[in-house]
Structure 1
Amino acid sequence: MAKTPYVQDHELKRMLKIAAVSGELPVRNVPMLRILYGTGMTLHEVARLPVSAYLGVNGDVLDESAVTADIAYNGTERPIFWSNKELIAALDQYLAYRIEHRQMVTTRTGAYRSLDPDSPIFLTDEGEPYKLTKRKTATGTISYSCDSLSQLFRKLHMQAGIEGASANSARRTFAVRLHNKGYDLKSIKVLLGLKTLRATNNLIDADPVRLGAIAAGVF
């Protein structure tokens, strides 16, 4: 089975640049792309991640939090590290937009920047949580999907000329980029919430960037 496309650095930069000036609600779409490509979270995890996973009670950005078990795609908690400056800047700008437009705010102005800590970070254009669809496989396993976010994700990639990308493209790209920077499979496994090193290696296997480098050195 063919792997989901890997998004190269120049493609990702172009997509972020286009998303910042086009489409519906760029102030939300840019940090959404950054969190997908910068953390390796799944779409349904991003749809449910609460404000309290990003902000402390005093409104400061947390250094570390977690994709909790009730949100994680596989029911296993894993850490999130809020250390990327571009991601933090984009998220803060979007949360300021939410506050200005009174989207799921509370009367507790001194806590969580007045945002409802249990509300998802990302909301629809109308300021409502994204709706998830619950599905049961033939084996009885329960999974969740977010069709509206999937459509938005595909649109953001298509307008940047990146064809065939899915939500898993962000996870694979996150894994490959970490691998290329020299991080070990065990660390990548933890950040993605994968169960085994084999699953992690399979995600990274046949890295197109490295294969390209090999091909470039033939002559």
Structure 2
Amino acid sequence: MTKPPVIEDNQIRHALKVAAVTGQNSNRDVALLMVAYGTGITPNEIAKLLVSDYLQVNGRPRVESALRAEIAFNGKARPLLWASTKVRAAIDQYLEHRHAARHGITTSPAAYRGLDHQSPLFVTGEGEPFAFTRRVTAAGAVSYSCESLTEIFRRLHQQAGIANGNASAARRTFAVMLHRQGRSIKLIQELIGVSSLSAVKRLVEGDPVRLSAIVAGVI
């Protein structure tokens, strides 16, 4: 199976700039891109995040949170770190817009920035949770996928001119960027929830590091 591409920094910056001036949900779309590239979690997991997975009662972000087992793709909890100031800034801007649009607000403005802590962190343009599509295989196995959110990620990359860009590319890019920083395969495995170290190695190997980037670090 062909691996998704690795999206370089300049491409990500361009996608963010295009998303910021395109469509009616630009604040949300920028935040979605930042979360995908800044955490490596999947569209299904993003769609299931709650406001309380990001915010504390006092309205401050949870810098160190956890992707709950009930929403993780593999049913196992793993670290969810909102450590990036850029990711937090994008989410905060979106939540301000969401509050102004009165999507999932409460009568307690002092708690969770006035948002319903049990509502999804990300909602549709109408303020509703993202829908999941139910599928049944020939063997009778049932699965659910958030195709609408997956399509949003595909569109955000397409409108930025990034060939084959999608949420899977963002997830692989997250892993590859950690690998470039010298982070251990074990750590990357823990953050993205992949079942085996060999699977992580396959994900990060074949990193298309540009020759110019290599030469630039010589002296």
TM-score relative to the length of structure 1: 0.93
* Corresponding position: 1:31 with 2:40: no
Number of the residue aligned with 1:6: 6
State the secondary structure of the residue aligned to 1:209. coil
The 1:215/1:56 distance shift into structure 2, 3 A limit, reads closer
Count of residue pairs brought into register by the alignment: 216
Q: Given the superposition, is the C-alpha separation of residues 214 and 89 from structure 1 closer, same or farther in structure 2, using an over 3 Å criterion?
A: closer
Shift of 1:142: 3.9
User: Which residue does 1:94 correspond to in 2?
Assistant: 94
Structure 2 portions without partners, runs of 5+ = none
- Alignment correspondent of 1:129: 129
Q: How far apart, in 1, do the equivalents of 2:198 and 2:173 lie?
A: 17
Cα distance in 2 for partners of 1:128, 1:213 equals 43
Hey, what's the Cα distance between the residues in 1 that align with 2:24 and 2:158? 14
Instruction: Name the residue aligned to 1:17.
Output: 17
Deviation at 1:101, TM superposition (A): 1.2
Q: Which amino acid aligns with 2:7?
A: V
Residue 65 of structure 1 aligns to a residue in which SS?
Answer: strand
For residues 58-108 of structure 1, the C-alpha deviation after alignment (integer angstroms, 9 at most, x for no partner) is: 111112111101100111111111110111111111111111111011112
2:156 alignment partner in structure 1: 156
Q: Percent identity?
A: 50
CA gap of 1:139–1:210, structure 2 versus 1, over 3 A, is farther
- TM-superposed CA distance for 1:210, in Å, is 6.3
**For residues 176 and 139 of structure 1, do their structure 2 counterparts lie closer, same or farther at Cα, with a shift above 3 Å needed?**
farther
Gaps of 5+ in 1: none
Deviates more, 1:78-87 or 1:203-212: 203-212
Q: What secondary structure, in the 3-state scheme, does the structure 2 residue paired with 1:66 have?
A: strand
CA distance in structure 2 between the aligned counterparts of 1:151 and 1:65, rounded to whole angstroms: 27
d(CA) in 2 for partners of 1:115 and 1:20? 23
Equivalents in 1 of 2:79, 2:142: separation in Å?
Answer: 23
Q: Which amino acid aligns with 1:117?
A: H
Shift of 1:136: 3.5
Aligned counterparts of 1:8 and 1:37: Cα–Cα separation in 2: 11
Q: After TM superposition, list the pairs within 5 Å mapping 1:1-219 onto structure 2.
A: 1-138=1-138, 140-209=140-209
Q: Partners in 1 of 2:51 and 2:172 — Cα distance?
A: 25
Q: Deviations over 1:8-34 (max 9, x none)?
A: 111111111111111231111001000
Classify the secondary structure of the residue corresponding to 1:148: helix
Matches of 2:137 and 2:97 in 1, distance apart?
Answer: 38
Which shifted more, 207-216 or 76-85?
207-216
